[in-house]
């Protein structure tokens, strides 16, 4: 579902009841393992976690003004979607 929520907590409240527990557990696991400095955001109507410009100044290649996406959680058609963005951050690549 595309959400107008301003925070992950509000987003979870808007989810169908059958998805709330799964999203809460997934979010808790992400937060426990998220690298230091990464940030939680609401973006494009989804909960997400990004690599901020303080860590990776070039930002997202499609729009460098945006931080680099790391993972997103969303609900579409009453299904839970977890999207990961795989990166190799290598200064000589």
What pLDDT, on a 0 to 100 scale, did the predictor assign at position 78?
Answer: 80
CA distance 73 to 41: 11
d(CA 35, CA 39): 9
What's the burial of 75, exposed, middle or buried (CB within 10 Å: 0-12/13-18/19+)? buried
Q: What pLDDT sits at residue 48?
A: 92
Q: What is the pTM of this model?
A: 0.80
Q: Where are the domains of the chain?
A: 8-84
pLDDT of residue 36: 92
Q: Along the 93 residues of the chain, how does pLDDT read in single tens digits? A: 578 899 988 999 999 898 999 999 999 999 999 999 999 999 888 899 999 999 999 988 888 999 999 999 998 888 899 988 876 655 544
pLDDT given at position 3: 83
Give me the residue label for tokens 């696991």. 29
């Amino acid at each position: 579902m595309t959400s107008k929520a301003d925070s992950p907590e509000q987003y979870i409240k808007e989810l169908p009841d059958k998805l709330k527990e799964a999203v809460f557990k997934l979010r808790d696991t992400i937060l426990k393992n998220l690298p230091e400095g990464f940030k939680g955001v609401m973006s494009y109507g989804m909960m997400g976690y990004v690599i901020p410009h303080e860590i990776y100044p070039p930002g997202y290649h499609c729009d460098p003004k945006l931080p680099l996406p790391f993972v997103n959680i969303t609900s579409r058609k009453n299904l839970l979607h977890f999207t990961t963005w795989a990166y190799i951050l290598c200064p000589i690549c």
